[in-house]
Amino acid sequence: MIAKGGKSIYGASVGILMLDARFPRIPGDMGNATTWPFPVLYRIVRNASPDRVVRHKAEGMLGAFIDAARDLIKDGVDGITTNCGFLSLFQEELAEAVPVPVATSSLMQVDMVNRILPARQRAGILTISASTLTDAHLKHAQVPDGTPIGTTEGGREFTDAILGNKLELDIEKARADNVEAARALQAANPDLGAIVLECTNMCPYAADIQQATGLPVFSVVTFINWFQAGLVPPRF
């Protein structure tokens, strides 16, 4: 057998483009490496703060994200993702700029989830910031028109701590914000059959949301586990 080179690092198929943030990344969060059952490579995109990306459409940041994605590919990854659902805005540009598969946003799951639900049910979105989740974000992720949207905005902790990039996070208050927002989304939409978490920082609370609503919950963790399984199929 002859081994061939070409990569700087081997065994990490997924490269994650990270926002420039300092808030705590607890287990389950995309930015906590223990979340993943496989190795990943991270690259921080400097000056891409949560506020700039979520509330200001990552204006002026596309080139920095493309450069970071290319660096990850040079290091050896086989696919690129990001740690913010609002980066769906860059899906087409990133996919055109790099030679590997790109999955920018958990929102890309919504249409697929709709296809697996029982008749007359549909998926809804839970987002960190409904006030800045625009039609453009949804269109770039191919989210169907009229998809129900719930949000943690107005809660006690989660949105404020993450978008404010605070150094402390009250986990139980953040958990309560997510559960209460999911319940409100469900109450307002009797046809809700599943919830897709837009925000990658919501993943630690996915099980709590599922238990509270009784609905399937899809997140960036479910999405990237699926994504990675295609990049590196299991051997039997």
* Sequence-separated contacts (24+) of 172-178 with Cβ below 8 Å: 174/205, 175/204, 175/205, 175/208, 177/152, 178/126, 178/152, 178/202, 178/205, 178/208, 178/209
The answer as to whether 77 is a domain residue is yes
d(CA 18, CA 16): 6
Residues 28 and 71 grouped into a single domain: yes
User: For the segment 123-166, what is each residue's pLDDT rounded down to a tens digit?
Assistant: 999 999 999 999 999 999 999 999 999 999 999 999 999 999 99
Write down the residue that tokens 């990854």 correspond to: 77
Say if residue 100 is in the same domain as residue 164.
no
Strand-pairing partners, residue 149, are 125
pLDDT, mean over the chain? 96
Segments forming the whole domain that contains residue 189: 106-219
One domain, residues 193 and 154: yes
- Per-residue DSSP letters for 199-229? -GGGGGGHHHHHHHH-S-EE-HHHHHHHHHH
Instruction: Please give the DSSP secondary-structure letter assigned to residue 190.
Output: T
pLDDT higher at 95 or 9 = 95
What confidence tier does 2 reach under pLDDT thresholds 50, 70, 90? confident
**For residue 180, what is the domain's CATH number?**
3.40.50.1860
pLDDT tier for residue 205 given thresholds of 50, 70 and 90: very high
Among 2-16, 129-143, 221-235, which is the least confidently predicted range? 2-16
- pLDDT (0 to 100) of residue 159: 98
